[in-house]
Chain A
């Protein structure tokens, strides 16, 4: 059974704090992704990684960084949280094959509130 887990379901932080969102997948997928989701704006890609230590900017990377030291783990970092980063954050992973287990799967999401 494929599984993507995120470290927190709900998180409340203060403006200026450094925030770490962790994501782990157990499917040996090469690709991992971080999205944010806001009402009316769909899924917006922040960063993705196609291999360990590799990363590429998505559509809205400003204010975020990422880290992928191990294949199964992809971290999203907010260096100095701001109120406009209050959002739902979704992690996903995807393999490079064409079987159903290589399809893109999402984690349960982290609802981040920045006060």
Chain B
């Protein structure tokens, strides 16, 4: 089946640094999603991308839908301690049915 490779698996950064993570797939998707999960909570949707090449921002977050439709990246600028958590990417091929999830990037921000 489809698989997403999300990297890096974990990141340890200093407060104020920028962060970049990405997802790649061997198959195309027509929607890319990025979620953040705080400890003990469910994932929360951060950004949804619907068009190849699309670049979307949400505050300090910026995500792009790769032009080949097989990858996406998420950047976080000027990280703060509350950015700590697990970030998941997800791809959707059709407008119904299952999504495919990456294994997550665990972000630790040192004050």
For chain A, residues 72 to 98, give those with C-beta under 8 angstroms from any C-beta of chain B: 90, 94, 96-98
A contact residues, total (Cβ < 8 Å): 25
Interface 1/0s, chain B 77-107, versus A by CB < 8 A? Answer: 0000000000010101001111101111000
Complex: how many Å from CA A50 to CA B103? 24
**B50 engages A98 (CB within 8 Å):** yes
Min distance, Cβ B71 to any Cβ of chain A, angstroms: 18
**B104 engages A42 (CB within 8 Å):** yes
Complex: how many Å from CA A113 to CA B73? 35
**A31 engages B88 (CB within 8 Å):** no
Kindly list the 5 A-B residue pairs having the minimum CB-CB distance in the complex, ordered from nearest: A106-B42, A42-B103, A96-B96, A109-B42, A108-B42
Residue ranges of B at the interface with A (Cβ–Cβ < 8 Å): 31, 33, 35, 40-45, 48, 50, 88, 90, 92, 95-99, 101-104
